[in-house]
Structure 1
Amino acid sequence: MSCNAQKKRTLTGKSEFQLEMNAKFKDASKSPLTKKGLKKFKGLDFFPIDEKYKVTAKLTKTPDAPLFKFPTTTNRVVTYKKYGVVSFIIDNKEFELDIYQDEHPKEEYKDYLFLPFLDKTNGKTSYAGGRFVEVYTTDEQQNGTITIDFNKAYNPYCAYSNRYSCPITPRNNYLDIKIEAGVMTYKK
């Protein structure tokens, strides 16, 4: 397919997040897809957007928490500090997740918090290894809350290609509920 033909393909998605994700995946310079996968790519599958999965969470910071060494899908280990615990309610059930920050973030990621999670959709309608949500320190409110939008949950790059090394989501970040929001399983 020529470059011109690729540019004419319509971007799919119902939200800005979905459009941005599909644009990134169609761009060979940014996409985690293999060349073969890129040729066949028509767009990521997403769960329907549901506002119940956009939650206001209580953030309990853990400034004295020890560093956490994340195992990855390869033999590489990445070090994060546990930034805190987020507590929230979905469908009248209370949940908690640990949220992390890179030990030595690059300047452009200094406000980035890493929120990996597992849920009851893993291995069925979402990636078996869990998904991630981006949260930022700049989103913290003075009342100790932070918004988490699971509609923006995405798969780690290793869901698309084995050439990536991805952090393995800790078991304690398992949600005993189906989070039917964000990116679904990638069909290779």
Structure 2
Amino acid sequence: MSFLRLKKIVLLLIMFETFCVAAQTSGKESVLEFQRNINKEFKDPAESPLTIEERKVFKSLTFLKIDTTYVVEAEFVRTPFESPFEMPTTKERTPIYVKYGELYFKLKGKNLKLNVYQSQDLLRKPEYADYLFLPFTDLTNGDITYGGGRYIDLLLPLSKKVTLDFNKAYNPYCAYSKKYACPIPPVENDLDIAIPVGVSYNTEDSLH
């Protein structure tokens, strides 16, 4: 192999490594922005599920360590002929949802699927017209994450590929206050795998 060819290969490897590092940094910054925003929400009296006393001492939610291996590219399949249904919640309220589509992806060597839903109530509000709801459970629930499962917010996909970042998984408001009626993740969104990223939960230190 000539010296010039070897030099080109080395340069390509360096460029590829630089690209990977930049992509990881960009991904982590996106998660950090999510964490800043949700902490800001919990401090805001108009949005927070916390009581006045809790907001006074609140500093941050507990976040698990960011891990970009839990950012996956999923194949989105639209399911346009689904019927509206009442999604059970932690109380008597049963909001109307429609299954909007399915996400197929591979994580830690497993082929997985999650359904995404569209709230028919929020659909009436222009600011939420492109909002999709992804509730799920996994093997960390009741241990390092909230026992009732967690949520991820998504926007209407513009293509058949959707980036799914589990580092942005958060707890429902009923994890912090019993006055809320939170949707219970449907059984078909129960993942047989641990997702040890996102917002954590512990009754002793979930608010610190």
TM-score over 0.5 (shorter chain): yes
Alignment partner of 1:98 is 2:98: no
**Which consecutive unaligned segments of at least 5 residues does structure 1 have?**
1-13
Q: Which residue of 1 aligns with 2:20?
A: none
**Which consecutive unaligned segments of at least 5 residues does structure 2 have?**
1-30
TM-score, normalisation: structure 1: 0.87
User: Whole-Å Cα distance in 2 between the matches of residues 97 and 130 of structure 1?
Assistant: 13
Aligned length: 172
In the TM superposition, residue 145 of structure 1 has moved relative to its aligned partner by 1.3
In the TM superposition, residue 37 of structure 1 has moved relative to its aligned partner by 2.0
CA-to-aligned-CA distance 1:144-174 (integer Å, 9 cap, x gap): 1111111111111111101111111111101
User: Whole-Å Cα distance in 2 between the matches of residues 67 and 146 of structure 1?
Assistant: 23
User: Whole-Å Cα distance in 2 between the matches of residues 44 and 83 of structure 1?
Assistant: 30
* Deviation larger for 32-41 or 45-54: 32-41
Percent pairwise identity: 47
User: Whole-Å Cα distance in 2 between the matches of residues 181 and 140 of structure 1?
Assistant: 26
3-state SS, counterpart of residue 77 of structure 1: coil
3-state SS, counterpart of residue 188 of structure 2: helix
2:158 pairs with one of 132, 136, 140: 140
Q: Which residue of 2 aligns with 1:5?
A: none
* Deviation larger for 111-120 or 95-104: 95-104
Query: Which structure shows the higher strand fraction?
Result: 1
In the TM superposition, residue 36 of structure 1 has moved relative to its aligned partner by 2.7
Runs of 4+ in 1 over 6 A off after TM superposition: none
Q: After the TM superposition, which residues 37-186 of structure 1 pair with which residues of structure 2 at under 5 Å, given as runs? A: 37-104=54-121, 105=123, 106-137=125-156, 139-141=157-159, 144-186=160-202
User: Whole-Å Cα distance in 1 between the matches of residues 130 and 194 of structure 2?
Assistant: 28
- Equivalent residue letter for 2:59: K
TM-score, normalisation: structure 2: 0.79
1:30 pairs with one of 47, 55, 75: 47
3-state SS, counterpart of residue 87 of structure 2: strand
- Equivalent residue letter for 1:25: F
